[in-house]
Amino acid sequence: MRVLVVTAVPVERDAVTRAFGAGTEVLALPGAELHRTGAFDVLAGGVGPAAAAASTAFALASAAAESADPSPYGLVVSAGIGGGFAPAAPLGSLVVASAIVAADLGAETPDGFAPVTALGFGRDRFTPPPALVREVASATGAAPGPVLTVSTVTGTAERAAALRAAHPGALAEAMEGFGVAEAAERAGVPVLELRAVSNAVGPRDRAAWRIGDALAALTEAFGKTAPVLEGWHRHDH
């Protein structure tokens, strides 16, 4: 089974590919590079849900056009670093999404924020295969729980509290998972999201961020996750 891994930026992509240890073949896509190592194609697709959705959709369509198999990928993974909700997801820890949630897709109303589903259209979450989530959590020690996708990174305690109230049990926030999931869903491919925590969700304190530690944790996580993903079949539940 081939796996497409989509990160936001090249430093995250390189953290993932380091886990595989083998030589990497670089394939050119319009505006991007696909780094192929064994069964894994890793793409730095851009920051935010729109860029993530567009780059994922293009990679999926390109692979299908070049293959006799109409669905050459068996799984798409949104991966990278992100913010963790303390104390459940401390710095350097791993989170695997049990739900990928668009936390700010909707409308402001006199009664507060209304998700797009409350407006009567669209969707605001995707659910990765539960069995795969459990296997990845077991292999890596990642905490399973909802991961929020936001277009604006949280920078205040008030906003962090509002997100936790709206999404009880949320473990982390990032900016790409929902976009990757939208593209994967339209291609009929299951999706997973795996994050290493580099900072706490809340007031921005760059001095407290641990980006290097989070990238190292991401590399270690994919080293442990690779055998799970290679042995997983999309019809496993």
Q: What is the pLDDT of residues 171-214, one digit of tens each?
A: 999 999 999 999 999 999 999 999 999 999 999 888 889 999 99
Q: What is the pLDDT of residue 70?
A: 67
Q: What is the pLDDT of residue 230?
A: 87
Q: 168 preceded by cis ω (within 30°)? A: no
Alpha-carbon distances, residue 237 vs 3, 53, 79, 157 (angstroms): 18, 25, 21, 38
**pLDDT average, residue stretch 143-162:** 96
Q: What is the pLDDT of residue 152?
A: 93
C-alpha span between 106 and 37 (Å, rounded): 38
How many CB atoms lie under 10 A from the CB of residue 9?
A: 14
- Tens digits of per-residue pLDDT, 111-148? 888 888 988 888 999 999 999 999 999 999 999 999 99
Q: What is the pLDDT of residue 234?
A: 62
Q: What is the pLDDT of residue 27?
A: 86
**pLDDT average, residue stretch 100-117:** 91
> Is the pLDDT score of 237 beyond 60?
no
> Is the pLDDT score of 93 beyond 90?
yes
Q: Using 50, 70 and 90 to split pLDDT, how confident is the model at 32?
A: confident
Q: Is 2 exposed, middle or buried (0-12, 13-18, 19+ CB in 10 A)?
A: middle
> Is the pLDDT score of 233 beyond 60?
yes
Q: Do the bridges between strand 106-109 and strand 32-37 make them parallel or antiparallel, or are there none, so unpaired?
A: unpaired
Q: What is the pLDDT of residue 156?
A: 95
Residue scoring higher pLDDT (108 or 133): 133
2-231 to CATH, choices 3.40.50.970, 3.90.25.10, 3.40.50.1580, 3.30.420.10: 3.40.50.1580
**pLDDT average, residue stretch 92-102:** 97
Alpha-carbon distances, residue 8 vs 16, 84, 195 (angstroms): 12, 17, 12
C-alpha span between 142 and 89 (Å, rounded): 9
Closest CA to 128 of 104, 149, 144: 144
> Is the pLDDT score of 97 beyond 90?
yes
- Tens digits of per-residue pLDDT, 37-85? 989 999 999 999 999 999 999 999 988 888 767 678 999 999 999 999 9
Q: What is the pLDDT of residue 29?
A: 80
Alpha-carbon distances, residue 37 vs 13, 41, 44, 114 (angstroms): 12, 6, 14, 42
Q: What is the pLDDT of residue 235?
A: 59
> Is the pLDDT score of 223 beyond 90?
yes
At which residue do the structure tokens 């109230």 appear? 165
The pTM for the full model equals 0.94
